Structure 1
Amino acid sequence: MAGQSRKWMILVATIWIQAFTGTNFDFSAYSSDLKSVLEISQVQLNYLAVASDLGKVFGWSSGLALMYFPLWTVLFTAAFMGFVGYGVQWLVITNFVSLPYIMVFLCCLLAGLSICWFNTVCFVLCISNFPANRSLALSLTVSFNGVSAALYTLAYNAINPTSPELYLLLNALIPLVISFAAIIPILRQPPFEPLPPDGVRRDSLMFLLLNILAALNGVYLLLFESNSSDVTSARLLFGGAIILLILPLCIPGLVIARNWYLRTIHASFRLEGSGFILVDPDELELHKGMLAQEADRESYQFLNEDVVQNTVKTIAAEEGDADELLITRGQLEVLGTEHSLKQLLCRVDFWLYYVAYFCGGTIGLVYSNNLGQIAQSLGQSSKTTTLVTLYSSSSFFGRLLSATPDYIRAKFYFARTGWLAIALLPTPIALFLLASSGTASALQVGTALIGLSSGFIFAAAVSITSELFGPNGVGVNHNILITNIPIGSLIYGVLAALVYDSHGSTGIKSMTDSVVCRGRGCYYLTFVWWGCLSVLGLGSSLVLFIRTRRTYQRFEQARISSNIDS
């Protein structure tokens, strides 16, 4: 039973890692200073943001490393890459050293790669320790990645709120410190222990409690970050945020207390068997154990097992020839079917999904990278850190909401691809709002909507990829999917930078050769183009939902039928 408490310790360690390794989200907080020190144009600055996202192209290297090295070495390799990548940038921005642009580009690439390695470590820990509730574990831990920028902003305000380069130093040091803190529970990772059905339900309740604590953390950061104007209050608020991150440690304590209660207090009041029982107690316990093991095996059946597949096929056959024609047009027949690389790239549903992500979540990420210049162009430079926190907190809540389908499944079932389409809707609304108004309130509302939308997409993507294209190949398939991030970062970022620099004549020249643009025109066309592209992504997600809706319905009917039969 000690293994049950240790797995929750691992989950808490994973939360800490995710909470402090989303370092790419605070790029906009120091990007203007980096641009000034390097004396580069907006296009060149965009290439640095692309370099950070380009690390995701090499995310497969972390999976390869796990094949040959233990998990803790991959964790510290990620920490070391981030330490070097961000540390060298800090030396450059503080004028300790002078490096050519290409070296800074490579440092950004290394820093971005470290984030992918951290994510891989967290994914492996969640999947290996919570196989029955992996979607809940993944959505919870990935959610905390979205709050990183808010935590770093609090730390920045608590130390020196007049030095934006401090972000880079914190990005280099804090993940390394967290890695040392997380190493003990990772090294003491328990062996896998299959859970009985009541254990799975008990874990689900624990996840519900953790989600409530996570929501409390997000509300705290969102409401009180604006009150951190002076160093003293910022330090108090940062301390409060750390306490909220420590609170999940109570979960292992609850597990230990429950086990102690069952082993001592409850056992001391246990009634002895009646003389009228005609079954030997030892045989009864053996029979219960056999039933528990059988139920446990059934609870771990995944989407593509024969019992579900056969039921799905039966339901599909009963729906008539029209549906058979739809299936023959390339639609998915059964959720969770494993796809090879060739099958994946030849499937229409994958490319619809790719376009939806490319024109949805990726736009949100590029928006966050440009948030510093957007605020500066609209005369809101003093509120850049507040906007970064707002985007971060909204992304955090969006990621938390991605677990909603799993919690309301018993009362209301809706295809996860349908939730994806709903999540994409706020992005075009926000972008067209930003194009139509340059007020501070419009900027805040638009930032919140984009953060909420992109956060949901980022967190839900792993589960959707697993359901549509198979759980066993999710590592490879998802890495193929997120190749759209560096591509989108390059295309969208260059588009924004060209529009920005073209309006430089309406702005001013800084002390360096870089252009500082002022006014709504700096990003007006960018918002319009991004808005139109996000509508394309929304349309693609709707088509994907229409094509997969029946497949999800069949699977849910099969799941209910198999539960009734068992």
Structure 2
Amino acid sequence: AVQAGDRRGGEEEDAMQDGHFAFAQAASVLLGAYLVGTTVLGSAVKLSDAASYALFGVTVLLLLAPLAIPVKMTLFRKKKPTLVEPPASAEEEPLLIPSDLPPADEDSEKVDVLLAEGEGAVVKRKRRPRRGEDFKFTEALVKADFWLLWFGYFIGVGTGVTVLNNLAQIGAAAGIADTTILLSLFGLGNFLGRLGGGAISEKFVRSVLLLPRPIWMSLTQTVLAVAYLCLAYALTPGVVYACAAVVGLCYGVQLAVMIPTVSELFGLKNFGLFYNLMAVANPLGAVLFSEELAGRLYDGEAARQRHSGGHPHACIGPECFRVAFVVLAGCCALGTAVSLVLAARIRPVFRALYAGGSFRLPNSNQQH
């Protein structure tokens, strides 16, 4: 009776936590969508002071919405059911085992081996860690999996941050006067990508498919390649708005997938070092793709237009970023191939971790 009550109580608590988590995430998504909507509305029509204050008040309410969870838990506490203890058994095992019992043969052999190791008679060779175990920093650096993951992540976030850094120029080249909406769409997509990318990859890695997380990096990089080609050859305001949201979404997925993949492959002991090395891919990609590639090509096309009597301070037209976007699309195609190779290499790791339920979250058979 006690075990059944504990099980029911644990299930109810898990369901309550899942509900609270879903409420917090739904409130966050609603807030993001609301902010983008108000940005679009403010750009389309001139709002009065009263309307602006009302919209701001709704924003504050949405920001405070997650506080409803602790308020609910405080005001509506659930009483714990009274558990009936089972009657004490007449025959109970002793709490302490007498120490004068002779040791088993196995224990004697282990003691002999330990004594031999201490005296130097046995030299125990240190085994290198396998995937999924705790790696030292230097041990991870010589693994192909680490650099495949780093390179795939570098392509995804490097090309994405290039669009982010040049959104104003891209919008101006497409004839968009106010680029505030572009930034809002990219930010909303980035938020949804980080939130949804982690949830979806977690769902599928624990399903019967056992899809490795890098699959989602390869899928989003394929989408990025298509978006860059659209920006290269169909640079219109509608395409720019849509691609800003899509690129932001795929950009967010890269980070959401990279973090758990690093921990699952190389352990948590030195996770901080691994994460920081992965994070270098973002500024490095910004320097190479944004400044050296897109920036130089944009400046060259802008100078050519000025000499031809064009706009004195900006570059207008699809030629401003066409070559850069084609190169970015090619890089994403390469990144897709790299992520697929990584997914194929590490599939046995995910099969070992999640085939019978995660080693971190036991399945129902293990719990009961």
TM range (shorter): 0.7 to 0.9
- 1:387-432 deviation line (CA, Å, top 9, x unaligned): 1111111111111212223356457642222222223221111001
TM-score norm. by structure 2 comes to 0.75
**In the TM superposition, what is the alpha-carbon distance from 1:234 to its structure 2 partner?**
4.5
**In the TM superposition, what is the alpha-carbon distance from 1:555 to its structure 2 partner?**
1.4
Contact 1:227 1:234 (8 Å CA) reproduced:
no
Give the structure 2 partner of residue 244 of structure 1: 62
**In the TM superposition, what is the alpha-carbon distance from 1:503 to its structure 2 partner?**
0.9
Give the structure 1 partner of residue 189 of structure 2: 394
Selected match of 1:530 from 328, 331, 334: 328
| Farther off after superposition, 470-479 or 514-523 | 514-523
Give the structure 2 partner of residue 221 of structure 1: 35
Selected match of 1:424 from 201, 221, 225: 221
Residue 445, structure 1, aligned to residue 253, structure 2: no
Query: Matched residues in 2 for 1:235 and 1:478: separation?
Result: 42
Give the structure 1 partner of residue 74 of structure 2: 256
**In the TM superposition, what is the alpha-carbon distance from 1:533 to its structure 2 partner?**
0.8
Contact 1:228 1:237 (8 Å CA) reproduced:
no
Give the structure 1 partner of residue 280 of structure 2: 483
**In the TM superposition, what is the alpha-carbon distance from 1:199 to its structure 2 partner?**
4.1
Larger radius of gyration: 2
Give the structure 2 partner of residue 516 of structure 1: 314
CA separation of 1:204/1:468 partners in 2, compared to 1, >3 Å: closer, same or farther?
Answer: farther
Counterpart AA for 2:274: N
Contact 2:157 2:254 (8 Å CA) reproduced:
yes
Query: Matched residues in 1 for 2:279 and 2:86: separation?
Result: 61
Query: Matched residues in 2 for 1:560 and 1:445: separation?
Result: 38
Give the structure 2 partner of residue 366 of structure 1: 162
Give the structure 2 partner of residue 185 of structure 1: none
Contact 1:427 1:531 (8 Å CA) reproduced:
yes
**In the TM superposition, what is the alpha-carbon distance from 1:377 to its structure 2 partner?**
2.0
Give the structure 2 partner of residue 384 of structure 1: 179
Give the structure 1 partner of residue 256 of structure 2: 459
Counterpart AA for 2:344: I
**In the TM superposition, what is the alpha-carbon distance from 1:207 to its structure 2 partner?**
1.4
Query: Matched residues in 2 for 1:427 and 1:467: separation?
Result: 26
Residue 348, structure 1, aligned to residue 144, structure 2: yes
TM-score norm. by structure 1 comes to 0.50
Contact 1:378 1:520 (8 Å CA) reproduced:
yes
**In the TM superposition, what is the alpha-carbon distance from 1:442 to its structure 2 partner?**
1.3
CA separation of 1:217/1:545 partners in 2, compared to 1, >3 Å: closer, same or farther?
Answer: same
CA separation of 1:241/1:412 partners in 2, compared to 1, >3 Å: closer, same or farther?
Answer: farther
Query: Matched residues in 2 for 1:226 and 1:425: separation?
Result: 29
Query: Matched residues in 1 for 2:248 and 2:319: separation?
Result: 23
**In the TM superposition, what is the alpha-carbon distance from 1:333 to its structure 2 partner?**
4.8
Counterpart AA for 2:260: S
CA separation of 1:515/1:423 partners in 2, compared to 1, >3 Å: closer, same or farther?
Answer: same
Give the structure 2 partner of residue 539 of structure 1: 337
Counterpart AA for 2:68: C
**In the TM superposition, what is the alpha-carbon distance from 1:205 to its structure 2 partner?**
3.0
**Residue correspondence of structure 1 range 13-52 to structure 2 within 5 A:** none
Selected match of 1:498 from 275, 285, 296: 296
**In the TM superposition, what is the alpha-carbon distance from 1:559 to its structure 2 partner?**
2.7
- 1:342-364 deviation line (CA, Å, top 9, x unaligned): 11211101111111111112211
The structure whose residues are more often helix, as a share, is 1
CA-based RMSD of the aligned residues comes to 2.8
Query: Matched residues in 2 for 1:508 and 1:247: separation?
Result: 52
- 1:359 counterpart SS class: helix
Contact 1:508 1:518 (8 Å CA) reproduced:
no
CA separation of 1:426/1:238 partners in 2, compared to 1, >3 Å: closer, same or farther?
Answer: farther
- Structure 1: 5+ residue runs without aligned partners? 1-194, 284-329
Contact 1:225 1:389 (8 Å CA) reproduced:
yes
- 1:464-504 deviation line (CA, Å, top 9, x unaligned): 22112112222111000111111111111221111011112
**In the TM superposition, what is the alpha-carbon distance from 1:447 to its structure 2 partner?**
1.2
Query: Matched residues in 1 for 2:180 and 2:358: separation?
Result: 48
The number of equivalent residue pairs is: 307
**Residue correspondence of structure 1 range 143-162 to structure 2 within 5 A:** none
Contact 1:421 1:545 (8 Å CA) reproduced:
no
- 1:414 counterpart SS class: coil
**In the TM superposition, what is the alpha-carbon distance from 1:218 to its structure 2 partner?**
2.6
Query: Matched residues in 2 for 1:545 and 1:501: separation?
Result: 39
CA separation of 1:547/1:411 partners in 2, compared to 1, >3 Å: closer, same or farther?
Answer: closer
Give the structure 2 partner of residue 204 of structure 1: 18
- 1:262 counterpart SS class: coil
Query: Matched residues in 2 for 1:333 and 1:557: separation?
Result: 18
Residue 434, structure 1, aligned to residue 231, structure 2: yes
CA separation of 1:278/1:469 partners in 2, compared to 1, >3 Å: closer, same or farther?
Answer: closer
**In the TM superposition, what is the alpha-carbon distance from 1:433 to its structure 2 partner?**
0.7
Query: Matched residues in 1 for 2:306 and 2:61: separation?
Result: 45
CA separation of 1:224/1:412 partners in 2, compared to 1, >3 Å: closer, same or farther?
Answer: farther
- 1:133-173 deviation line (CA, Å, top 9, x unaligned): xxxxxxxxxxxxxxxxxxxxxxxxxxxxxxxxxxxxxxxxx
Contact 1:352 1:544 (8 Å CA) reproduced:
yes
Counterpart AA for 2:27: L
Query: Matched residues in 1 for 2:277 and 2:188: separation?
Result: 28
Query: Matched residues in 2 for 1:498 and 1:471: separation?
Result: 41
Query: Matched residues in 2 for 1:438 and 1:378: separation?
Result: 6
CA separation of 1:406/1:210 partners in 2, compared to 1, >3 Å: closer, same or farther?
Answer: farther
Counterpart AA for 2:178: K
